[in-house]
Amino acid sequence: MKKVIISGLAHTILMESLTALGHNVMYEPKISYEDLSNKIIDAVGLVVSTRIKVDTALIDKAPHLKWIGRLGSGMDLIDVAYAQSKNIQCISSPEGNSNAVAEHTLTLLLNLMNKVNFSYEKIKEGIWAREESRGDELYGKTVGIIGFGNTGSRFAQLLSSFNVTVLVYEKYKSGFAKDYIREANLEQIARYADVISFHVPLTEETFYYANEQFFHSLQQQPYFISTCRGKVTDTNALINALQLKKIKAAALDVLENEKLDSYSQNEKEQLKKLIAFENVIITPHTAGVTTQSFYKTSKVLADKIKEL
């Protein structure tokens, strides 16, 4: 039987599907990089999540590998170019958690605009901060979306009932403007957007996309949201933007380094500064983690593997 290793948490539908295809499935969601390096030698398939980096060294350990499947979206932990040079197909399942990420993005935005976290923290301190918690309404605002793939487009759909104007910058796609959704460039988003939400993959091109220059260009003091990848945002630039009031508030589901126990002193200081702002919300990369997406990402990936 053909050996397949699943190195991340997956719904049983994936194991059942792979077994039905004649694979010998090893389900090891807590496997270490070192153990995987030893066990991947005779594997034909590998399923990963966000834990293990699939680099050239790991790929070279797997001469029989035919495909790498990513649970969810984002291929930044996989050396896709090197894998493809070895005739290894790389697939992902962003369709499975795009709605979850979009809903989480909307949750973060409404939380920020209505100062939900702020007012709750005040109540825990015994302070009934009603006037200080006066919020903004999303209705009628201009929302800038950077990146219009599965999650960006789904987020735009969720905004349909708020009578907003959505300005979308998508470098690799066009012809999607309709009704309240308009194609735009970065300059237009920087000039008009009351809200800016990032939905781009992490690549060399998008690394530190939200940098000092980006924040300095903003003219409406927008709400800033990122639910894509931590290194798309320069943390120091974000802190400066908050201090200089270039943005009204920020919500992050991702950080540059999400392994808090590995933080350097500088990273600890950065995080300390971020969480000290009353207009900042940080969630632990949970935007795509719902009961429904847990099933859907596995089902979508299983179907794509079957098509191979």
CB of 198 closer than 8 Å to CB of 226: yes
**CB within 8 A of 257, min separation 6: which ones?**
230, 263, 267
- Per residue in 24-76, pLDDT tens? 999 999 999 999 999 999 999 999 998 899 999 999 999 999 999 999 988 98
On the question of pLDDT at 112 being above 90, the answer is: yes
Whether the predicted model's global pTM rises above the 0.75 cut: yes
What is d(CA 113, CA 231) in angstroms, rounded to the nearest whole number?
Answer: 25
pLDDT at 297: 96
Among candidate residues 72, 89, 223, 205, the one with its CA nearest the CA of residue 150: 72
pLDDT at 50: 85
pLDDT at 51: 87
Average pLDDT estimate for 105-126: 97
On the question of pLDDT at 204 being above 80, the answer is: yes
Q: Which CATH superfamily is domain 2-93+291-307 in?
A: NAD(P)-binding Rossmann-like Domain (3.40.50.720)
Average pLDDT estimate for 202-228: 97
Average pLDDT estimate for 73-98: 94
CATH architecture type of domain 98-282: 3-Layer(aba) Sandwich (3.40)
CB of 295 closer than 8 Å to CB of 10: no
What is d(CA 76, CA 195) in angstroms, rounded to the nearest whole number?
Answer: 26
C-alpha pair distances (Å), 67 with each of 28, 60, 201: 17, 13, 21
What is d(CA 302, CA 304) in angstroms, rounded to the nearest whole number?
Answer: 5
- Per residue in 232-283, pLDDT tens? 999 999 999 999 999 999 999 999 999 999 999 999 999 999 999 999 999 9
CB of 79 closer than 8 Å to CB of 56: yes
The arrangement of strands across the sheet holding 23-27 comes to 23-27, 2-6, 43-48, 67-70, 89-92
Domain ranges of the chain: 2-93+291-307, 98-282
On the question of pLDDT at 1 being above 80, the answer is: no
CB of 82 closer than 8 Å to CB of 56: yes
pLDDT at 114: 98
Backbone φ and ψ for 237, nearest 5 degrees, come out as -65, -40
